[in-house]
Amino acid sequence: MTSGRITQPSIVLLDSNVIISAHELGIWEWLTQRYRILVPSVVVKTEVLFYATGRRERGRVPIHLSEQAEAGRIEELTATATELARVYAGFDPSFVGGLHAGEAEGLALFLAGRVGEAAFCSGDALAIQALAMLGFAQQGVSLEVLLGRKKHGGVLAPQFTNDFLCRNLSRGQENRITGMGLNTRLLD
């Protein structure tokens, strides 16, 4: 079983929770300069609109991903309805119901072959498992690996560690082998 990517990719598709955490940690600018960032359209338009400035302050700072996409700092990718339907049909309803729209769109882009060798970075267990269930475990990467030795302004949450990624990739690969959570007839 694969243990996830441990080398630095050059292209990475980010889930909403990674983008929000990168803003909270003060590393977003660094990420956009270090990597070619791909973002599903649903994440750009509806899932990532602001981040919190702190527990006490409870302030919200807007995130303008659409403007960053227009400026060419990130790339916004849109899955077609057919590509999205293939992802939703490929999983058992009890499993796919736990995926957020941005995660499903990101997975659809992988399944359609539209992201090449890009790595997928998420802190969501089901999204990571689904990546492995679709046969793309080798393209999973943790935020911890993306950061390398980069200093950041906070504590990295457990769901962004390589250990979390590897555990969920393993679960996803087991599910792929056993068929748990998959509608395997539709993925062939």
Q: Summarize pLDDT for 30-49 with one digit per residue, the tens.
A: 999 999 999 999 998 876 66
pLDDT number for residue 138: 96
> CA-based angle 167:180:15, to the nearest 5?
50
CATH assignment at residue 167? 3.40.50
Q: 176, 40 in Cβ contact below 8 A?
A: no
Tell me: pLDDT of 12 over 70: yes
Express each pLDDT in 58-108 by its tens digit.
Answer: 677 777 888 999 999 999 999 999 999 999 999 998 898 899 999 999 999
Q: Which domain holds residue 60?
A: 11-187
Tokens of 105: 């769109």
**DSSP string over 141-187:** --HHHHHTT---SSPPPGGGSHHHHHHHHHHHHHHHHHTTTB-HHHH
Q: How many domains does the chain divide into?
A: 1
pLDDT of residue 1: 40
User: 6 lies in a domain?
Assistant: no
Is 4 domain-assigned?
no
